[in-house]
Structure 1
């Protein structure tokens, strides 16, 4: 513990900011369910531009009393799986009653700083293989594993032994990335961070500061832009949000350092600029963001697509941003909702049609927990 605290202090003294704005900034989705989601009358056609003004209604609080929740994976029956960063557990939340049942603890997780058990996703063949994928920080690296979920076993013993499909993602006290999601192509997409070593982002031989694209077995996915490499895009600082629109276009949120947080449209093989560029840049060769925010207004983690917009959860910003889209550009000014009402917001996941699941993050050591924190909310959006 002393070593971890010393490392954190050294990073802050050197001016390395946290990934979510919990410490002072220095100078230095959703997994597929068993069955396809049914279309809703509220879903917009692919060519329709969303209105400039939207709305958010908190329909209900689904669950309370969660400890350091991070990843969320909806099941086909309406229940939700949620990971705990610090406890390294996965819990099933009844989507109607909010009752919580612990599946088990993921072995090998080494929580410290911003690391621990982070994103989770369901196998694209979950209906038949019952596999849960998880991204976590070990004692030596960040890695991705998959585990069998056996509901017939007693609570607390329902997770099978982890099968590691990818290891060697750089770890740090900060900037561990952690979001994983299966895309429309049934490949596994992974958001990683540069672990505080900014040089890794431009190094295409490193897994840090990247978006990776893998087969479900952990191999570089067919069609990736760099031969025999899992790297899909590079020049990222710390990616914790991944989402696709109805045209199967990928978007990602990214933590800035001192000035600009970003929402990016991801093109395979493109360079997103870090550390040479933070936010928009006139320098050639970098893919500019769709939009950018000051770091105290956003510090974005999860994102989701619904009703023609990207919805982006803000940690330090303590608000939910709506970014209406036309193709891969913003069609109107972003709007902020829920500002300060629920504290830090970590994860947002589509719940079908005009609904979203939203997870707060006030028990992670950087928030100010209120009675009932942390919680999962159901939202109705437009």
Structure 2
């Protein structure tokens, strides 16, 4: 959801070229008490196996007899041999230096398997400033080959050593104390909180506004000055503590802090005459005269009533733009409003009215919408029964499950036990019905429980739920980023989306269930053929939401970004979708780019469904239904167009109606962002023609 204001020493190896980026001087591995060596052990990089790197000593501060200067090429590596007395977890701490201004990421592998892809080794100010990057990994009994491989043409950092510690830190810090705000101004405030504790040490605090990270403080701090805020705006703030191993606490209690009204109360003048040209089936170019302000105009909003279709910013902002994503063959009446830095809004310009051009017939378009059922409170998951006559619908915060028929008859069939809320986006989430329900009566739920998020199975006899079996635990939870969508694939296996639990590093940790698409059997086992032999089907996800299979059996997924880009992804087994290294499209080796991106203000996507080779995506913050056609059976998609912009509020789940070119579309206006009372949500029927 987006609310943004805005040991044993290894043998020596072969040395080749003499360039390199990061200094890698020491790798230390320490296994936990149940594994690996009896104590932490240091392994010098200069005595390890080296491919495309040089032993150097021209920068001070290293340990041992030198460090490794990586050659500036992708694939250069240092490999350590580490002996463990028993199998188990260990922390791997790489001591390095990076005197450049750019990150030099590396894949960390154990026994030939990448356990931490594209680990960030950021700049350290200069080549004599050494830092430590720590990850957790499982070691096998006996010898282990631990390799750090550069993933970009810049090569790796200077590497000093590896320290292996068998006592891998798996304990998260305690929850920070209740925050409060002080020194509140019109554009800033000081956030204060109670200190967290940890068995080792708290190294950092992350500051979140709803589900988006907006700041960070040192582990020794209990205050943070937040600047660049918008006047007269309420910010819902929480704090999460982290330790050096990347373990993150639960979010602190939330506090609402409201900035003071701006001293600038003078709004800009109204924009000059608005006109339009170049109208297509999904866009139009608008131009207007510049507004003036006693300080400065900072933005223009293109609006229809109170709904903003596009915002133009800059210094100064431009006075023309092309508005895209419009629905075909539809009338629009738009105006422009200018804003200043204090949020003062001008009078609106004149309005222009036009109709977009005719629709393309391929795939059809939404042609009508009507209410199926009302009186809902945060309906989250919808899944059709195999007979196509009714669907099961979950309510997130009440933990109730309902049967809803095509004619709108709504009947509660039970509740899911052990479900708890997170006062955010956790609770009773996805639901899926077994393809063999007619004989086994099995249904599946993903929900938040006391220890984390679970996938559970129950029985449903057509009128009531019974039984309860936990299929999978160990999925971390937090206030936000819990994922939660379930779907059965054409292969008869269960797919589940999991969020990063506001701990972004988990998304790249193949040993974690978080930040992933999981694939499992109906008995809760890892599906045969999964790419890593675990539950993990794909990784590198921040908060994946929508799941849908196309006519070719391919899996598409919609995903919340942080503050820049939301994503539509085509999911492939074993692929890495980039978070937190990438948000949206990037050029990092080993990362898979999305097929389509949106600014978070236009989307914040949740459910998706496919009708006639067209993906329909429900948007929460964007308050619209996006239509994205798939280009035949290729991996490309066409232009995205939006329907019902601002008309029905926050849209959560969209589901294809069996046997018809129709969708069911649910709202989430009674959640903590919608602000409507319980019972305000609806489920609509959308016809495609």
Give the TM-score normalised by structure 2: 0.48
Counterparts of 1:194-343 in structure 2, within 5 Å, are 194-227=500-533, 229-326=534-631, 327-343=633-649
Deviation at 1:101, TM superposition (A): 1.2
What RMSD in Å do the two structures reach over aligned CA positions?
2.7
- C-alpha spacing 1:333/1:104, structure 2 compared with 1 (3 Å): same
SS at the partner of 2:471? Answer: strand
SS at the partner of 1:65? Answer: strand
CA displacement 1:283-313 (0-9 Å, x = unmatched): 2111000010000100001001112111100
Matched residue, 2:394: 83
Q: In structure 1, what is the Cα distance between the partners aligned to 2:615 and 2:579?
A: 22
- C-alpha spacing 1:253/1:12, structure 2 compared with 1 (3 Å): farther
Would you say the 8 A contact 1:130–1:148 is kept in 2?
yes
* Greater relative CO, 1 or 2 (CA 8 Å, sep 6+): 1
- C-alpha spacing 1:82/1:251, structure 2 compared with 1 (3 Å): same
Would you say the 8 A contact 1:25–1:257 is kept in 2?
no
Deviation at 1:58, TM superposition (A): 3.4
Q: In structure 2, what is the Cα distance between the partners aligned to 1:300 and 1:149?
A: 30
Matched residue, 2:383: 73
CA displacement 1:250-281 (0-9 Å, x = unmatched): 10011000100000001100110000000000
SS at the partner of 2:601? Answer: coil
- C-alpha spacing 1:297/1:5, structure 2 compared with 1 (3 Å): farther
1:364 to 671, 677, 681: 671
SS at the partner of 1:15? Answer: strand
Would you say the 8 A contact 1:323–1:330 is kept in 2?
no
Q: In structure 2, what is the Cα distance between the partners aligned to 1:67 and 1:119?
A: 15
Deviation at 1:94, TM superposition (A): 2.7
Q: In structure 2, what is the Cα distance between the partners aligned to 1:344 and 1:4?
A: 31
Matched residue, 1:124: 435
Would you say the 8 A contact 1:51–1:324 is kept in 2?
no
Give the TM-score normalised by structure 1: 0.85
Deviation at 1:330, TM superposition (A): 3.8
Matched residue, 2:484: 178
Higher strand proportion (structure 1 or 2) = 2
- In the alignment of these two chains, the number of paired residues is 349
Matched residue, 2:207: 14
Would you say the 8 A contact 1:255–1:300 is kept in 2?
yes
Matched residue, 2:271: none
Q: In structure 2, what is the Cα distance between the partners aligned to 1:79 and 1:63?
A: 13
Aligned: 1:107 with 2:414? no
Matched residue, 2:374: 64
- C-alpha spacing 1:148/1:53, structure 2 compared with 1 (3 Å): closer
Q: In structure 1, what is the Cα distance between the partners aligned to 2:648 and 2:512?
A: 37
Runs of 4+ in 1 over 4 A off after TM superposition: 3-13, 22-26, 50-54
